[in-house]
């Protein structure tokens, strides 16, 4: 599941917190020149119809008691950093998308923080206790739905969309709520009588692409509840991989298996050298006609032994329906975090005993390898592996 968090009236809430005179009052954050626009408005000011990006003179017309507060970006950035730092204690996968907004991949957090709503309440509580600010949280299986959910019960909201409610939610979701659907697209939507995201399903891909270009195809995916977007953290971007171009194309499972083992060991060695553990393992296969595919799997528990990486890689390989011979095989790991990261430590306590034991064995092998050269001690099954493959 993905969690999306967005602070409530962020700049205005910070100012109201720091200056008691402003509490409960309609305020906006902005410059005070004729050309200034509203950066944000407190919820009290929003009752008058005042919104972000509205010219200040217009906002003043809407509300006579409106208080205009000059902004203090340094202070907002400082608060933002503190919020993001709290979030990283709940998941190693945090993607900050703006000054007051972030996505968290919360798969695998249940053991530590409970059900998603408990986790969300813990986050809200921490932010309230430490920063005296409120936020709204949305939780859903995919990013775009989590973002829409976080906006549904603002301020101080919490909205959870479990898998079984997604279909009905999409059927009734007003199309203008979908990120990326602007005014121009709305005119076309009206012509086609598309009112909800679910209505998109009535149209074939060609029509959607013709009318809306790339966005049409994206809407088609969203209407099926898919958005393909993963939470992009620094850690996720960090990855380690190794690949091998074979001397001759192969289709034999045993040979592929041995190569996967060799690559898993190379990748595992580098992973442990960086003192990292990983959650995602991926494989890459390039075929005789130069087409290629990648497959990946993310587990709840982080791993660091070559054996566990190998098991994941083989499982991924076995799921591929081979139609052509293979000319290149690659193995990669991502979702890396330091093995001693506080979050990770707790999680590691529950990880597979197998991986822990194998990691210990691997560490011993790694040390021997460093001293005498890698390849001195190797898994028996590697002995039969073809020599003379080119690898990187």
Interacting residues toward ligand TTP by CB under 6 A: 6-11, 39-40, 52-53, 99-101, 154-155
Q: Does 12 bind Mg ion (CB under 5 A)?
A: no
Minimum distance of ligand TTP from residue 262's CB (angstroms): 49
Measure the CA–CA gap between 212 and 218, rounded to whole angstroms. 10
Which residues lie across from 277 on neighbouring strands? 337
DSSP 199: G
Contacting residues for 347 by C-beta, under 8 A, at least 6 apart: 108, 111, 112, 301, 302
Token pair for 283: 């494989």
Q: Please report, for residues 61, 157, 166, 229, the alpha-carbon distance to residue 145 in angstroms, rounded to integers and kept in the order given.
A: 36, 15, 9, 11
Choice from 1, 2, 5, 7 touching Mg ion (CB under 5 A): 7
C-alpha distance from residue 286 to each of 155, 221, 243, 251, 258 (Å) = 50, 27, 10, 12, 17
Helices and strands in the chain: count of H runs, count of E runs:
16, 14
Query: Is the Cβ of residue 149 or residue 336 nearer to ligand TTP in the bound state?
Result: 149
Answer yes or no whether residue 347 interacts with Mg ion by CB under 5 A.
Answer: no
Output the smallest distance, CB 334 to Mg ion, in A: 30
101 is catalytic: yes
Report the nearest approach of Mg ion to the CB of residue 133 (Å): 10
Per-residue binding string, Mg ion, 88-107, x by CB under 5 A, is: ------------x-------
Binding partner of residue 40 among ligand TTP, Mg ion, none, CB under 5 to 8 Å per kind?
ligand TTP
Rounded least distance, CB 304 to ligand TTP, Å: 38
Tally the residues of the chain.
392
Quick check: 136 binds Mg ion (CB under 5 A)? no
Say which of 15, 95, 101, 243 is annotated catalytic.
101
> CB of 14: closest distance to ligand TTP in angstroms?
8
366 interacts with Mg ion by CB under 5 A? no
6: contact with Mg ion by CB under 5 A: yes
Interatomic CA distance for residues 321 and 324, integer angstroms: 9
Tell me the C-alpha distance between 50 and 70, whole Å: 16
Q: Does 147 bind Mg ion (CB under 5 A)?
A: no
Q: Does 27 bind Mg ion (CB under 5 A)?
A: no
From the list ligand TTP, Mg ion, none, pick the one residue 95 interacts with, judged by a Cβ distance below 5 to 8 Å according to partner type.
Answer: none
Residues whose CB is less than 8 angstroms from the CB of residue 206 and which lie 6 or more positions away in sequence, other chains included: none
Binding site for Mg ion (CB under 5 A): 6-7, 10, 100
Catalytic residues: 101
């Amino acid at each position: 599941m993905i969690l999306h968090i967005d602070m409530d009236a962020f700049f205005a809430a910070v100012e109201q917190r720091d200056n008691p005179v402003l509490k409960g009052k309609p305020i906006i954050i902005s410059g005070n020149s004729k050309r200034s626009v509203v950066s944000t408005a407190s919820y009290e000011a929003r009752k008058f119809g005042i919104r972000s990006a509205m010219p200040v003179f217009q906002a003043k017309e809407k509300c006579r008691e409106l208080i205009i507060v000059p902004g203090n970006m340094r202070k907002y950035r400082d608060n933002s950093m503190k919020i993001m730092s709290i979030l990283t204690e709940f998941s190693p996968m945090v993607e900050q998308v703006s000054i007051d907004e972030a996505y968290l991949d919360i798969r695998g957090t249940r053991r530590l923080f409970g059900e998603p709503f408990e986790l969300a309440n813990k986050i809200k509580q921490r932010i309230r206790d430490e920063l005296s600010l409120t936020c709204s949280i949305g939780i859903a299986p995919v990013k775009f739905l989590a973002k829409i959910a976080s906006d549904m019960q603002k301020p101080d909201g919490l909205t959870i969309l479990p898998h079984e409610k997604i279909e009905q939610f999409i059927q009734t979701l007003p199309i203008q709520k979908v990120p990326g659907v602007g005014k121009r697209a709305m005119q076309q939507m009206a012509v086609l009588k598309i009112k909800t995201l679910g209505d998109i399903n009535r149209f074939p891909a060609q029509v959607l692409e013709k009318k809306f270009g790339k966005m049409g195809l994206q809407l088609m995916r969203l209407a099926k509840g898919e958005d393909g977007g993963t939470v992009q953290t620094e850690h996720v971007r960090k990855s380690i991989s190794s690949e091998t171009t074979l001397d001759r194309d192969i289709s034999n499972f045993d040979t592929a298996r041995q190569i996967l083992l060799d690559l898993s060991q190379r990748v595992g060695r580098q992973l442990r050298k960086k003192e990292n553990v990983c959650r995602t393992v991926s494989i890459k296969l390039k075929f005789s006609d130069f087409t290629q595919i990648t497959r990946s799997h993310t587990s709840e528990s982080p791993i660091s032994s070559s054996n566990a990486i190998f098991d994941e890689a083989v499982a991924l390989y076995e799921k591929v329906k081979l139609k052509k011979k293979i000319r290149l095989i690659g193995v990669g790991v991502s979702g890396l975090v330091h093995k001693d990261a506080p979050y990770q430590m707790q999680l590691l306590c529950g990880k597979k005993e197998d991986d822990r034991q194998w990691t210990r064995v691997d560490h011993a092998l790694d040390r021997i390898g460093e001293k005498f050269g890698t390849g001195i001690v190797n898994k028996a099954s590697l002995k039969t592996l073809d020599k003379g493959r080119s690898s990187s």
